[in-house]
Homo-oligomer: A and B are copies of this chain.
Amino acid sequence: MRVAESCTSMRERLVEFSREFDRWLDAALSACDGVPRRLLDSMRYSALAPGKRIRPFVLVRSCEIAGGSREDARSAAVAIECVHAFSLIHDDLPAMDNDDVRRGQPTNHRKFDEATAILAGDGLLTLAFEILTRGALDTARGAMDGARGGLDAARTVRLVRQLSEATGPAGMIGGQMLDIAGESQSPSAPRVKRIHEMKTARLFEAAARMGADCADADEPVSAALARYGHGLGLTFQIADDLLDLTATLGDLGKHSGKDQAAGKQTYPACIGEEPSREEARRLAESTIRCLDAFGPEADDLRELTRLVVERRS
């Protein structure tokens, strides 16, 4: 009962956050000059489609918990969501997971066409790095003393480094490669774990660490938040595997049952449904313990972890 109640209020807070965040995202995309109309339409279509905005939420809250302001985290939060939107567009392509529906609407290549979808993904990925440097530039040639209106250059470099490593061939993109290769291999728990780590946990970890970096946090604070983000990502991905088994198109905004049909490496395929649920709960508990050094200011990250396990969509 208490968990269900806190999940409801957490869900409301996420919705409230996403309303503000979507304005940031819209503003960042609107600030793109000289982009061919169809390409920008395609980028906006996927980036602004209704999403849970969990990665930017973790990033912004990590920044605030580490003593930074919401404004400090703004560019990085928009950048990480652009990377997430890029990954959804490319993962859905016919040559990859070949999905028709995403976030309750036709996938990008269905709404536009394959060439446009490939370029919209490329565009969002590149834009993420440009956005990280917006605002920073004003101060880059000057002094390094924090400067209003943007992060200093040293923090910006750390953000570019975090985001590129978590996204790149040893991170999310590599995880997608293993995910596809895994379709022709027998299910194995270590294989699933490596896929989940790379495909999902590294970007969640980057969200938390980038938030801490936006606040210029000390390494112990940054490391604790990064461990939290990593655990949350793993929990999220097991819950995602389970939802693919049990939820409907209406719940998810995407087709379910696809993992099994494709022979994907998932936790339920390796260890069964109920043991996967137990593993998700166990992981959620250890993830919450990563926040032990923080007080009530980290309560919503704790509740978010419970929501991720209990989520039905």
Contacts and interface: CB of A to CB of B under 8 A. Distances in A.
A80 interface: no
Given A95-B113, A113-B95, A118-B118, A157 B133 contact: yes
Given A114-B95, A123-B173, A141-B154, A168 B130 contact: yes
Given A122-B125, A127-B164, A115 B157 contact: no
Contact of A178 (B36, B161, B164): B36
A35 interface: yes
Interface residues of A, number: 58
A239 interface: no
Given A114-B95, A153-B153, A36 B127 contact: no
A177 B32 CA distance: 15
Interface stretch (A37-45, A253-261, A272-280): A37-45
B164 A133 contact: yes
Given A118-B93, A126-B169, A39 B174 contact: yes
B116 A177 contact: yes
A235 interface: no
A170 interface: yes
A183 to B, nearest CB: 10
Copies in the complex: 2
A32 B127 contact: no
Contacts of A163: 129
A7 interface: no
B33 A170 contact: yes
Which 4 interchain pairs have the tightest Cβ spacing? A95-B114, A123-B169, A130-B164, A153-B153
27 contacts: A32-B170, A35-B174, A36-B174, A36-B178, A39-B169, A40-B169, A43-B169, A86-B122, A90-B118, A90-B122, A115-B180, A116-B177, A123-B168, A123-B174, A126-B173, A127-B168, A129-B163, A129-B164, A130-B160, A132-B160, A137-B157, A137-B158, A140-B157, A141-B154, A144-B144, A156-B157, A160-B160
Given A119-B169, A137-B158, 20 more contacts: A36-B169, A36-B174, A38-B181, A90-B119, A95-B113, A95-B115, A96-B115, A115-B180, A119-B173, A121-B122, A122-B122, A123-B168, A123-B173, A126-B167, A126-B173, A127-B169, A130-B168, A133-B157, A140-B157, A141-B154
